Amino acid sequence: QVQLVESGGGLVQAGGSLRLSCVASGRIFTINAMGWYRQAPGKQRELVATATNGGSTNYADSVKGRFTISRGNAMNTVYLQMNSLKPEDTAVYYCNADTDRGSNWGQGTLVTVSS
């Protein structure tokens, strides 16, 4: 089992920036990839960005060019740098760790972008 703790959410004006962080603990040696998902009110959870242990990244079209995902050197952390934020980026952002035994999720951190 892997435990995930997110931080860095908050309220920001449109055009601003935020950086989310997520730290994994537990069986971190089983992690293959980490990523970020988000869920806006009344909508389904959607992928934002993922990064594998090998360095491959994947982004949702809606955030390409604005968000950057990165992994820490110890491979048990993942960051999401969010620039040029838009009101439609408002959501609860969840950290995800994909392991040999399935997906693990953090509790989520709220990002609110005001217009």
pLDDT digits (tens, 9 = 90+) for 9-65: 999 999 999 999 999 999 989 999 999 999 999 999 999 999 999 999 999 999 999
Question: pLDDT by residue (tens digit) across 81-102?
Answer: 999 999 999 999 999 999 999 9
pLDDT confidence bin for 75, thresholds 50/70/90: confident
- Rounded to a whole number of angstroms, the distance between the first and last alpha carbons of the chain is 39
pLDDT of 73 > 90? The answer is no
**CB within 8 A of 61, min separation 6: which ones?**
none
